Chains A and B, each alone.
Chain A
Amino acid sequence: MALNEEMQTEETERHSRGWKFTLHLIWNNPLMVVGLAAVCVLFVMAVFAPLISTHDPFKINPPQRLKPPSATYLLGTDVAGRDIFSRIVYGSRITLQVGITVIILALLIGYVFGIVAGFFGGGVDELFMRITDVFMSFPYLVLAMGLTVALGPSIQNAMLAMAVVWWPTYARLIRSEVLKLRGRPFIYASKGLGATNLFIILRHILPNSWVPVIVQASLDFGRVIMYAASLSFIGLGAQPPTPDWGAMISDGRGFLEQAWWYPTFPGLAIMVTILGFNLVGDGLRDIFDPRLRRR
């Protein structure tokens, strides 16, 4: 009888780590579900843009400039007569592209530096910390601004600049994960069995370090989009006539009085997108938080 109880307790413990429990956690977090929905809508918009948009986002139509939202022009038209709704739909492609590119780039650079610093330690690590210190001393956005101006305002340069500003965060996170793992007995065991450093890195370190990185990346996605929109707003990102949301707000500024819809709707799109990603990021963080899983 006593043994049964022991087995019961074990099963409960296993149960709290399984896939079913994860889905249950997601389902019980309505905010995260909303976030996922928003993100899905974004993806659908980006992929099926030609099918969803009502007009050609690039076609200039001067007689229809600055028209308010109506049945034909769902969200109104801009200064060149282009349909704002269609431009927002196409703009989702740029938003997604930029977000994914910047994060992947930052992750790649960050992983390389982070692993090298964490794994080899010593002088290399010291140098790494100094370098990341310098990069992280710049206030948010200022370095990206300067870099993009120097390289020339374009969306590719903006993405590059953002990746340059972002990598230290990931590098440090990865470094701390590597440090945590390096001291674990199984690494020593592996070395004792003759594994090369590269093998250990690829086979043991990488697979075990990705969880906090994914959580951080999902939390960051929203911020990257915010940066990108800010850069475009100042004129440093996508160049006209690309339907970038930040650039659209910038274009629409001057028409705030007579055409309030012009800067308002792209901004709403940005906000909903960032909100969606933030909710998903928060949800992921809660899911992977070991303390919260043991309920």
Chain B
Amino acid sequence: MTNGRTILKIRGDLKTYFFTFDGVAKAVDGVNFEIAEGETFGLVGETGCGKSVTALSVLRLVDPPGRVVSGEILFEGEDLLKMKDQEMQQVRGNKIGMIFQDPMSSLNPVMTVGFQLKEPIRLHQRIGEGKADRLATEILEQVRIPEPSRIMKRYPHELSGGMQQRVMIAIALCCHPKLIIADEPTTALDVTIQAQILRLIRDLKRDFESSMLMITHNLGLVSKCCDRVGVMYAGNLVEVCDVSNVFSEPLHPYTRGLIEAIPKVNADRETLPVIPGRIPDIINPPRGCKFHPRCGEVGPGCLEEKPELQEVKPHHWVACARVRPNEGFVK
């Protein structure tokens, strides 16, 4: 699927289920993909499609009643799901860093910024207070926070949203992780700040030579940041390809619907095409292809089997019964 060495390989059909009162919610229902060294992989989809849960599953941060029920998550060759707790703790914040969506609620309100930043530094690099202080100041400078030593003494609620997110990024990146997981890093921010933060994340990733898993529902963000894209729907990947292909030649009907729904200034249309219907119930999903109730191109084969990802073109994978290899969409 990729070019270059693989840093993260999810295989064996990753499944993360939530065992609730109303039934089993299949948030991630058989997901496989890889991320190569140095690349940015975007995981895209609507709210509730399972992209965040996938990211949390990688770090084994899924809270009960959720649980990973099958699959393998290979990071640098080792299966994270089989690691002991202590080993996993050495990976988190150290080799894999996670940037969360809402910085205000992801920072502990009763601790200073400096304390929270120095925690992972001291833990993973085993250095004293003085050295940690210096390193913390350095990383704050790298995330372009002015007057770092003053900011370190502040509490999270005293900072603006943009500053809080920079702090979060600093915390995630302070140990120079090989893999950065960014879960909708700009969604909770003002539009004016979003571009700055995005640029910051991109630059730092390049400087640190890391790979990135970017979770988002914003296709614009995808076009700016990602090398490859995976489109998720109701717990499954429906299309995986290079970023240019997802915009120029989307093959899966859902992806096509998403791309067509992007307002274009010069498009010759009066109404914006929308995908009819709503996302399905993940406790009782539709039979066969989960998208079939909303699909404009549904055919008889779509209700029988859930389609698997197939490489229909070089480096372009689609999970649709109507798409044949080397032929494209078959009517």
Pick the 5 closest A-B CB pairs, nearest first.
A2-B277, A2-B276, A1-B293, A295-B21, A5-B278
- Contact indicator A5/B21 (Cβ below 8 Å): no
| B294 in the interface (beta carbon within 8 A) | yes
* A48-B277 Cα distance, complex, nearest whole Å: 61
Give B contacts to A, CB under 8 Å. 20-22, 276-278, 280, 293-294
- Contact indicator B22/A5 (Cβ below 8 Å): no
Which of chain A's residues have a CB closer than 8 A to the CB of B20?
Answer: 295
Contact sample, A vs B, 16 pairs, CB 8 Å cutoff: A1-B277, A1-B293, A2-B276, A2-B277, A2-B278, A2-B293, A2-B294, A5-B277, A5-B278, A5-B280, A5-B293, A6-B278, A9-B278, A295-B20, A295-B21, A295-B22
Cβ-closest chain A residue relative to B279:
A5
* Count, A-B residue pairs, CB within 8 A: 16
Which of chain A's residues have a CB closer than 8 A to the CB of B278?
Answer: 2, 5-6, 9
Give A contacts to B, CB under 8 Å. 1-2, 5-6, 9, 295
* A6-B277 Cα distance, complex, nearest whole Å: 8
Shortest CB distance B124–A (Å): 38
Cβ-closest chain B residue relative to A1:
B293
* A2-B294 Cα distance, complex, nearest whole Å: 7
Which of chain A's residues have a CB closer than 8 A to the CB of B21?
Answer: 295
* A196-B22 Cα distance, complex, nearest whole Å: 47
Shortest CB distance B299–A (Å): 15
Shortest CB distance B289–A (Å): 14
A2-B294, A5-B277 known; 10 new pairs, CB 8 Å cut-off, are: A1-B277, A1-B293, A2-B276, A2-B277, A2-B278, A2-B293, A6-B278, A9-B278, A295-B20, A295-B22
Which of chain B's residues have a CB closer than 8 A to the CB of A2?
Answer: 276-278, 293-294
* A1-B294 Cα distance, complex, nearest whole Å: 8
Which of chain B's residues have a CB closer than 8 A to the CB of A295?
Answer: 20-22
Cβ-closest chain A residue relative to B278:
A5
* A1-B293 Cα distance, complex, nearest whole Å: 7
* A9-B48 Cα distance, complex, nearest whole Å: 16
Cβ-closest chain B residue relative to A6:
B278
Which of chain B's residues have a CB closer than 8 A to the CB of A5?
Answer: 277-278, 280, 293
Which of chain B's residues have a CB closer than 8 A to the CB of A6?
Answer: 278
Shortest CB distance A295–B (Å): 5
Which of chain B's residues have a CB closer than 8 A to the CB of A9?
Answer: 278
Shortest CB distance B157–A (Å): 24
Which of chain A's residues have a CB closer than 8 A to the CB of B277?
Answer: 1-2, 5
Shortest CB distance A217–B (Å): 29
* A115-B76 Cα distance, complex, nearest whole Å: 67
Shortest CB distance B175–A (Å): 38
